[in-house]
Amino acid sequence: MRLGMLTACLPQWTLDRIAGWAAAAGFEALEVAVWPSTGGRDYAAAHLPVADFGPQAVEETRALFDKHGLALSAFAYYENNLHPDPARREEIQTHLRHAIDAAQALGVAYVGTFIGRDWTKSVADNLAEAERVFPALVDYAGERGVRIIIENCVMEGWHPDGYPGNLAYSPELWEWMFGLGLYLNWDPSHLTWIGIDPVETIAPYIDRIVHAQAKDVELDPAARQRYGFFGKVNKGGNPWDLGWWRYRVPGLGQIDWTRVVDRLYEHGFTGTLSVEHEDPVWGGDDERITQGLHIAHRTLRPLLVH
């Protein structure tokens, strides 16, 4: 198992700068954010130009990772592949194919994205739509030796009423999406706040957990007494603020990382455990973000076999 980090937390840094910092800080791999430079999501990062990724870019990227002794564990492009606007959906899926092409050129095994959801339709209609949409994407990836991995984030901020905006948040839905040929970028933080013990999801699905994200979550039971499980109704303009939980870097939340890592080892996980830093306490500027990454590293590194 390797300890890596997702580059999206440092959107203004170049990949060269991130790689140098990460190697010096003791990380072994990068999960590289590959949103288009035009953005899309407010925290998207464009660390490789996958839409225009010619032979020179391939060689430069290989040389960069070799220089710093890092692995490139996956590409990250987490967008809504069931977006209700047909034009926007096509943009997203076109860029996903660009990411798959670049992954093939670099020998990267995984490209991460979301199932997503058309929030104007029922869950049943969305599942049927995904069954229509995803086989072609899975085939496109498979023909190029790449697997599409789905993060189990709820993405409640994508839905106007705060309902799940990414239909991959539970083991029930994982079993459905595995039938479409998709794999899992397993993240315990999302499971924890929706009431699922993340440790208990490892053994049953280890054959599909090919990449994992290390993100913690802090729960506030007193606030939940006021808002309920579904969180605030009046979010003050921030659709992501449910009011009773927040993301933290590993070691500062509820997750028992000793149990998580032990169970991953027990069941033969040999992939990358990639720190995803979305901690508001250790955010806001580069110094605090990198300090948060150091905290995550100090928490996780002793648990991994050298």
pLDDT digits (tens, 9 = 90+) for 285-302: 999 999 999 999 999 999
The pTM of this model reads: 0.96
Q: What is the band of 132 on the pLDDT scale with cuts at 50, 70, 90? A: very high
pLDDT at 136 over 80: yes
pLDDT of residue 38: 58
Average pLDDT over residues 83-100: 98
pLDDT at 18 over 90: yes
pLDDT at 138 over 90: yes
Element (H, E) at 272: strand 272-275
| Sign, Cα dihedral of 120, 123, 128, 129 | positive
pLDDT at 199 over 70: yes
pLDDT of residue 40: 54
pLDDT at 39 over 90: no
CATH of the domain spanning 2-303, picked from 3.50.90.10, 3.40.1000.10, 3.10.20.80, 3.20.20.150: 3.20.20.150
pLDDT of residue 247: 98
**How far is Cα of residue 183 from the mean position of the Cα atoms in its chain?**
12
Q: Quote the tokens at residue 91.
A: 């943009």
CA terminus-to-terminus distance, the chain = 9
pLDDT of residue 258: 98
pLDDT at 9 over 70: yes
Taking all residues of the chain, what is their mean pLDDT, rounded to a whole number?
Answer: 96
pLDDT at 65 over 60: yes
Average pLDDT over residues 91-99: 98
| Beta-carbon contacts of residue 285 (< 8 Å; ≥ 6 apart) | none
Residue 199 CB coordination number (10 Å): 16
pLDDT of residue 155: 97
Element (H, E) at 183: strand 183-186
Burial environment of residue 35 by CB neighbours within 10 A (0 to 12, 13 to 18, 19 or more): buried
Q: What is the band of 196 on the pLDDT scale with cuts at 50, 70, 90? A: very high
Give CA–CA dist 182/172, Å, rounded.
Answer: 14
Average pLDDT over residues 182-193: 98
| Beta-carbon contacts of residue 265 (< 8 Å; ≥ 6 apart) | 1, 305
Give CA–CA dist 286/18, Å, rounded.
Answer: 11
Q: Quote the tokens at residue 96.
A: 């996903």
Domain boundaries, the chain: 2-303
pLDDT of residue 43: 54
